[in-house]
């Protein structure tokens, strides 16, 4: 599977909330890129970009979200702006999105046994992991890397995969140390390794 790095952090009106004007720019920039890839979309402040990849899907699908947060909350400005904390609510309104499953911790893995018989799009936020495996600028969960990898393998062994994205981590501007950046890069590489040889 191809890895695609997209960074729109330099675009005005994109940090945590995405203006309609910036959303139009992002959609145009990714118009020629495949949804069937491993997309690295930046820190959790830009997780709403998942919606733009989901919009490309042309068949019914189930969104499986690994995240310490549900990302389906009402934004501070109501429904006027797409946000990193509310994009799942927007995704549910897509005509091809028939189901979504939120996995926050290992205690939620039982939900993977009841996934609908649909192709899956995976969205992973590093903040689902404990600080032993990732360092992010959001509060983090308790999952370990082995557990996350095993859960991902279970999904791709039982369902057709339509695409994947990965977000999370931190930046130097927000206080990340070289060690933090190295740990996040190592974890990201380990996660990509699960999908590298998959043809979709």
| Full residue range of the structural domain in which residue 29 is found | 3-195
Q: Has residue 182 been placed in a domain?
A: yes
Q: Looking at residue 75, what is its pLDDT?
A: 59
The neighbouring-strand residues paired with 165 are: 39, 123
Give how far Cα 127 sits from Cα of 25, 31, 76, Å. 27, 28, 22
- DSSP calls for the chain: --EEE---TTSTT-SSEE-HHHHHHHHHHTTTS-SSSEEE--SGGGTTHHHHHHTT--S-EEEEEE-SS---PPBTTBTSSEETTTHHHHHTTSTTEEEEEEE-SGGGGGGGGG--SS-EEEEEEGGGB-TTT---SS----B-HHHHHHHHHHHHHHS-EEEEEEE----GGGT--HHHHHHHHHHHHHHHHHHTT---
| Confidence at residue 78, expressed as pLDDT on a 0 to 100 scale | 56
**Neighbour count for residue 194 (Cβ, 10 Å):** 19
Pair 44, 52: CB distance under 8 Å: no
Answer whether residue 103 is part of any domain. Answer: yes
The two three-digit tokens of residue 101, written as one number? 């499953």
Question: How many domains does the chain divide into?
Answer: 1
Does residue 88 lie within any of the structural domains? Answer: yes
Q: Is residue 183 part of a domain?
A: yes
What would the two tokens of residue 48 be?
A: 């709403």
Tens of pLDDT along 116-147?
Answer: 999 999 999 999 999 999 999 989 999 999 99
What was the pLDDT predicted at 200? 72
Q: Does 133 reside within a domain?
A: yes
Q: What is the pLDDT of residues 104-118, one digit of tens each?
A: 999 999 999 999 999
Per-residue confidence (pLDDT) for residue 65, from 0 to 100: 98
- Low-confidence stretches of the chain (pLDDT < 50) are none
Domain at 73, CATH number: 3.40.800.10
Tell me if 142 is assigned to some domain: yes
Q: What pLDDT is recorded for position 199?
A: 76
Judge whether 200 lies within some domain: no
Considering the domain boundaries, does residue 99 fall inside one?
Answer: yes
pLDDT, residue 198, reads 87
């Amino acid at each position: 599977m191809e890895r695609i790095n997209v960074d729109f952090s330099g675009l005005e009106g994109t940090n945590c909330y995405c203006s309609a004007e910036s959303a139009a720019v992002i959609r145009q920039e990714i118009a020629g890129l495949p949804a069937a890839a491993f997309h690295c979309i930046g820190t959790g402040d830009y997780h709403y970009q998942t919606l733009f990849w989901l919009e490309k899907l042309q068949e019914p699908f189930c969104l499986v979200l690994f995240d310490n947060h549900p990302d389906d909350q009402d934004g501070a400005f109501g429904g006027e702006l797409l946000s990193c904390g509310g994009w799942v609510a927007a995704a549910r309104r897509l005509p091809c999105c028939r189901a979504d499953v939120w996995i926050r911790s290992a205690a939620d893995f039982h939900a993977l046994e009841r996934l609908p018989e649909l192709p899956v799009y995976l969205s992973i936020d590093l903040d689902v992991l404990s600080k032993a495996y990732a360092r992010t600028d959001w509060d983090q969960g308790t999952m370990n890397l082995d557990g996350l990898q095993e859960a991902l393998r279970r999904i791709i062994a039982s369902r057709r995969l339509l695409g994947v994205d990965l977000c999370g981590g931190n930046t130097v501007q927000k206080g990340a140390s070289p060690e933090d950046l190295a740990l996040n890069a190592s974890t990201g590489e380990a996660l990509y390794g699960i999908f590298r040889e998959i043809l979709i």
